[in-house]
Structure 1
C-alpha cells in the first residue's frame, strides 16, 4: 500500500508533482471507428447468405422475400413483388439489422436481387430516409403509387384484421 490515503490532498504538502501514467492500450483490444466498420463490412461480404422465399399467407402471388442470413440467424429481409410477364419488380420493404446498417449489406442485397432477375425494371414503394438514400444510390426510382398491382397477377388481398 502506498500510503496515498494518509497524505493531505492539498498540493502544498506534496513533495514532488505526480504525473499521470500514459493511457494503457492493450495490443489486441477492440478498436473503434474505422476498424469496427471494416470488421462489419468484411462480415457482411463474407458470411452473409441470401435465401429467396415465397411469403406464406394472404400476401398474394408474386410476393417474395430475400432473407439475409448470418450463421443461422436472419439479419435482414427485402420484401418485393415481381411479375415475370411484364418484367417489373416492386420493392415493398427493406429491413436490415442495426449491426449491419452501415456495412454495405443493403447495397449488396439489392445488387444480388437485380442479378437474380435480369431485365426486370425495379421500382420501390418505400419513403423512409435511410431506404430512400439506399434506393437512390442503386438508381431504383420511387413508384408513383404505393398500391401498384400488376394486371397479370390477381388482386392481392389486404391484411386481415380481426375486431375484438
Structure 2
C-alpha cells in the first residue's frame, strides 16, 4: 500500500509532460505526449489531431508498470484536454485497461480511419 501511495504522489508531483505537438501546424499528424520522471520516459500518449476541425483521436496509451493504478493515465489525458481546449476527443483503443481509462474520462471509441477530411 505504501508503494502505491508513493507512486500516486510521484504521478501527481514529479512527472512532467512534454509534447511533440508543433504549434500552428494546421494539418493532422502523429503526435505524442511524453510522461517524464527523473529524466526518464515513464509513459506516452499517442494521438492525432486536426486544429482546423477541432478533432483528436488517441491511438495509444502506454504507462510504465510501476505507475499503473496511480492515476497518471487520468492526469495525462486531463493534461491533453487542457492543452487543446475545445477539441472533441475520441479513441481507437479497445484493450481492457485503456478502455476503462477512456470510459472514466468519457472519451468515446471510434473506428480507425481518417481523422477528418484534411487527413484523406
| TM-score normalized by the length of structure 1 | 0.67
By how many angstroms is 1:93 displaced? 0.5
Where 1:150 maps in the other structure, the secondary structure is coil
By how many angstroms is 1:147 displaced? 1.7
Out of 122, 135, 148, the residue aligned to residue 114 of structure 2 is 148
1:99 corresponds to: 66
Q: Deviations along 1:79-103, whole A, 9 cap, x unmatched?
A: 0000011110000011100000010
Which structure's CA Rg is the greater one?
A: 1
By how many angstroms is 1:63 displaced? 1.2
By how many angstroms is 1:61 displaced? 4.5
2:12 corresponds to: 45
Does the alignment pair 1:74 with 2:41?
A: yes
Listed as ranges, the gaps of 5+ residues in structure 2 are 22-26
The runs of at least 4 consecutive aligned structure 1 residues that moved more than 6 Å come to: none
How many residues are aligned here?
Answer: 116
Where 2:18 maps in the other structure, the secondary structure is strand
Residues 56, 115 of structure 2: 8 Å contact kept: no
Listed as ranges, the gaps of 5+ residues in structure 1 are 1-33, 55-59, 156-164
| TM-score normalized by the length of structure 2 | 0.91
By how many angstroms is 1:149 displaced? 3.0
Please report the RMSD computed on the Cα atoms of aligned residues, expressed in angstroms.
1.6
Greater strand proportion: 2
Larger RCO, structure (CA 8 Å, separation 6 or more): 2
Does the alignment pair 1:125 with 2:89?
A: no
